[in-house]
Amino acid sequence: MWHTVEHQINIIYQVGKGRPARQFRWSVPGFIEDRKDRKNRGFQLPGVTDVVNPEEVIGEKIFLNYITKSGDDPKEETNFYFAYPNLYFVTDKESVLLTHGHYLEAYWSMMGEWVMKIGQKDLRTGDALDLWELVAINFPPCQIACSGIGQAGPLTGVVRKVQREVKDQELDRVEKYLNRLDDEIDKLTPYRFYDPREWGIDLGSKYLRKKILKKLKGFKDTRYSEDFIVKKEVQDRFRNFYEASWVEISKLNQEHGLNIPKPHKVIFGHTHRPIKWNDAEAPTQEIGETQVTLYNTGGWLWRQPKGGQRQFCGAAVFTYDPQHGFTSHTIM
């Protein structure tokens, strides 16, 4: 949805008015202020809702305004504000970061991880990676995995079958495709079967196929993983994401005077295993001198193991009120 909003505001509306398309914003942070001594308590999109004429910033009303109606008038629109990927929530007691959590998983962040290893400082506008840069760098594979693969015609069905079979540990189709790929690579090499270079290519290809299949056989679906957040590679991704978020917060504080403290608590989803508020066993991570505790909404999904009964994976509803602060209610 975020990609669609970006296209609508920065390309479709701009071209429709005879203007050149604009660069995407990539990150539009939301902010909820609930400190009693502050004047602007409530929700805002810094740099959007706090300007004299928000229409000049957001372009036009977005398509999401029409997905529901408020009141009895069928022509009445919903005022829909879209924050992505972070919402910062500050109270008198704490600073909380809310985000979807997909950048903690390998696929959604791999582009950023690899190109940062190669491009390094060439890819940053400052001393540290900003959140908008992290979102922008990871855009290509994220777009492919969303509407890209969903609108790929016959390829869509094949990808769905492969995805389902990998989760069920049925790898016959994957092995068949890997063998075909190997055959096509052989056709591209000019060497004869008796040439040592051909043997080297074949050995390398065989080794790579075995590595891929071994990796897939050890696949564990993130959606239902209880130990996802404590894995080292996930903690490393979270650290990168948190540090990029802190760069964004620092800029918001400097440009808008918001005085957002470093978040000590993070609420995310995506892995679909709920972690309730103030759970004594909630995972924590040290980032510099900051200890961050992570909570999870769960995914509200049913799991259908092959040959087994359908299972609900649990969910958590997080609520807030000014007197009692945050709390959560679990659904099992």
Q: What predicted TM-score, i.e. pTM, was given to this entire model? A: 0.82
User: With the CA atoms of 181, 183, 184 and 185 taken in that order, what torsion angle do they form, in degrees rounded to the nearest 10?
Assistant: 90
What's the Cα-to-Cα distance from 331 to each of 99, 274, 276, 312, 326, rounded to whole Å?
20, 9, 10, 9, 17
pLDDT at 59: 44
pLDDT at 308: 76
- 250-265: burial string, b at 16+ Cβ within 10 Å, e else: ebbeeeeebebebbeb
Closest CA to 146 of 302, 7, 311: 7
pLDDT at 191: 60
Strand partners, 328: 318
pLDDT at 201: 61
Instruction: Give the chain's end-to-end CA distance (angstroms, integer).
Output: 29
For 162, the token pair is: 């492969």
Q: Would you write out the chain's pLDDT as a tens digit for each of its 332 residues?
A: 888 888 888 899 889 889 999 999 899 999 999 998 888 888 988 887 765 554 554 445 777 777 776 667 767 777 777 899 999 999 999 999 999 988 888 777 777 777 777 776 777 677 778 898 888 888 887 788 778 888 888 888 888 888 777 777 787 888 888 778 777 777 766 665 555 555 566 666 776 777 777 776 766 666 666 777 778 888 888 898 999 999 999 999 999 989 999 999 999 987 778 889 988 889 899 888 899 999 999 877 787 777 778 888 788 999 999 888 999 998 87
pLDDT at 262: 94
Can you state the percent helix, strand and coil of the chain, rounding each to 5?
A: 45, 15, 40
Q: At 123, which amino acid appears? A: L
